[in-house]
Amino acid sequence: MHSLRRLWLALAAVITAGFLILGFMGREVYRQAPPIPERVVTPAGEVLLTKDDILDGQLVYQSIGGQQVGSVWGHGAYQAPDWSADWLHREAEALLALWSQREHGASFAALPEEAQAALTARLKRAMRGNGYDPATGTLTISEDRARAVAETAAHYRGLFGDEPGLTALRESYALHTGAVPDEGRRDKLTAFFFWTSWACAAERPGTGASYTNNWPHEPLIGNVPTTANVIWSVVSVVLLLAGIGALVWYHAFRRGEEPDPAAPARDPLSGWTLTPSMRAVGKYCVVVVALLVLQVGLGALTAHYTVEGHEFFGVPLADYLPYAVTRTWHVQLGVFWIATAFLAAGLFLAPAVGGREPRGQRLGVNVLFGALVLVVFGSLAGEWLSVKQRFALETSFWFGHQGYEYVDLGRAYQIALFGGLVLWLVLMLRALWPALARRDLGRHIVLLFTGSTVAIGLFYGVGLFYGAKTHLSVMEYWRWWVVHLWVEGFMEVFATAAIAFLFTRFGLVRADSAARAALLSTSIFLVSGIPGTFHHLYFSGTPVSAMAVGASFSALEVVPLVLVGVEAYGTWKMQHRTGWMQAYAWPIKFFVAVAFWNFVGAGLFGFLINPPLALYYMQGLNTTPVHAHAALFGVYGLLSLGLVLVMLRRLRPDAVWNEARLRFAFWGMNGGLGLMIVLSLLPIGLAQAWASVEHGLWYARSADFLQQPVLEGLRWMRMVGDTLFIAGVAAFVAFVAGIFTRRPAVAVAAPPAGGGEPEAVPAALASRAQVG
């Protein structure tokens, strides 16, 4: 008991210290965000654009899909350019061309090296010079630079309009024609792009580095990694090695734990009485599978757009479903079906944990289900209308598209979803309350389960802390609270507690041992995970201190993932301890696969891009979706499907499990994900990283680079993994359909070794002779 008390105190200290760091650094983000000038003028006093133009342009960017249409400051989609890096390079080239023609009568490329060097040095001074007067809020740029800005803006006005000469480029970007049909909106969009690129080049006063810590890599203006970038990268690697060493030391020298209890002769979960609310959760499982199918289909279409641009094997689907829409839906549906699985698991387990069914619980479960369906399909429709430019700008943010990856849904639907999560929290707490009142060893796991439930229910609300015209740096700060802390943080804690509860109820793990392991894992995860949020914000207009905190703590995120692998091995061994555990063999296989992808996808591929120096060159390249696919589906997706299988086992205890289908589904999804990464995403990402280091990020994201035959061939190669993955999903759908349509079957096993009556065996065991 004393060790558990110490672990609770350690967890409280970790959470308190972590959020103090997060809060203090948030204050610095607000205080040191790149200024948005009240006006941009020439030395003669001509006003080129205003703050309202920039912020209205931000709204335009959001309305067309925002981070689903290229990226800004490295965050967003990967087919179109990063607009801040692309603008920066185009403006620099325009300025060099202006000077070389005026002063030498030749193009810049035709000049001798000495003349090129002189003009490049002048360009660096012009672009990196700040020019912002905080007293008046005025940004002054030279007449020559104003002409370069106007030339660059003209390119984007044509690109986002319907200029015929840019049709091929739009196809390379998978950008539909007339993405911004209104000329006034296009003007404002260029104002926003100009400001984001200005922040990438202008030096933050007193630092010698730009507001984005010299990101992106742009040799023309001297944007190269800072000293701090290199130093904190080295520190992160040292801390990683130290953390893994400490974990090895801990496992090598800790005292032996108490032996596991003897396995029960019967499945303890077979004694659960299915309450009305638990039965009502069954439709959540069906919706999880349906949304998974829809997400995978949209993912295949989105991936195909990277090859054909506007068409799907010659069919011009982009006229109706542009890339910005399909990618938005693909990303959002992934979050929706995974979150639905977690909500369903909580609602299913809560009455079992609490030991009773609260009055009206079934009604609450059904009301929540209806609300979730409304939010899902209402938000999808709003996003389509927004991308098709059917809303006014302010209306678009509320009922259409917020423009920010993973929190794309309109603000009204976001508020409705938060309301649904609060309802879920209420339903969970009222069902868990009897267990919280009990004073036994199992109470510690219940407390952890309850705490993570509260965090999931409330933490999504931080996504409401920014508005349509909130500063981009501030918005990114709060967005990553949702993406990193809500999805990657407290959902992980919830899953840890849920699995610990299940295995204690199985009787395979002692309650105190499970509580110690869960508390230790949670503390180790959150000590790095909470302040590690800043590894997403190195180059988002944040001060260098954000880089120091993010690099130091995010390096340690790999350490708990190693611990998860050790625990997964122990879980794998448990399935052989007693015959009835074979009924849960497939859920356990899914949980073990989660541990594998946790280490490979979240750990190795995550650390590949986490150090500041690595991310400096690779932010916004295809190395990011390598990590995203392996971590989001490999970890949270497979975990969700494993939880669905546990629920289906209890909801349909006598159903025949077609293990052949489930086996193919398991290996199809895991093998398809691996092939998708190895054959396509990772090679493309590494090729882009090489181009980014050698030439600059603008080139790594350019059509000239990405449309090379070799890279186009690698994108086609993704079909191999995608096809196997889709086949695995189809097999999983067929398996779930069989659960609800095949006749139940019950076999009688041999008497237990200790004598007594024969045990009824779940049909999955009896059906081994019939299927698979």
pLDDT single digits (tens) 295-348? 999 999 999 999 988 888 888 888 899 999 999 999 999 999 999 999 999 999
Buried b (16+ CB within 10 A) or exposed e, 33-48: bbbbbbbbbbeeeeeb
Distance separating alpha carbons of residues 334 and 632, to the nearest angstrom = 8
pLDDT at 389: 96
pLDDT of residue 566: 58
Give pLDDT, residue 765: 36
Report how far residue 391's alpha carbon sits from residue 398's, in angstroms, rounded to the nearest whole number: 10
296 contacts 676 by C-beta, under 8 angstroms: no
Report the pLDDT value the prediction gives residue 258, as an integer from 0 to 100. 57
pLDDT of 563 reads 61
Distance CA 247, CA 539 (A): 31
What count of Cα atoms within 13 Å lies in the side-chain half-sphere of residue 586? 25
pTM of the model: 0.92
Instruction: Quote the Cα angle for 575-580-582, to 5°.
Output: 45
Tell me whether strands 71-72 and 747-748 are parallel, antiparallel or unpaired: unpaired
Beta strand pairing call for 138-140 and 132-133? antiparallel
CA dist 435 → 4, 388, 391, 440 (Å): 18, 51, 49, 9
**Which portions of the chain are predicted below pLDDT 70?**
1-2, 251-265, 268, 440-442, 488, 506-509, 559-580, 743-772
CA quadruple 109, 110, 113, 114: dihedral positive or negative? negative
Q: How many Cα atoms sit within 13 Å of 655 on the Cβ side?
A: 20
At 664-699, the pLDDT tens digits run 999 999 999 999 999 999 999 999 999 999 999 999
CA 178 – CA 174 distance, rounded (Å): 12
**pLDDT at residue number 761:** 40
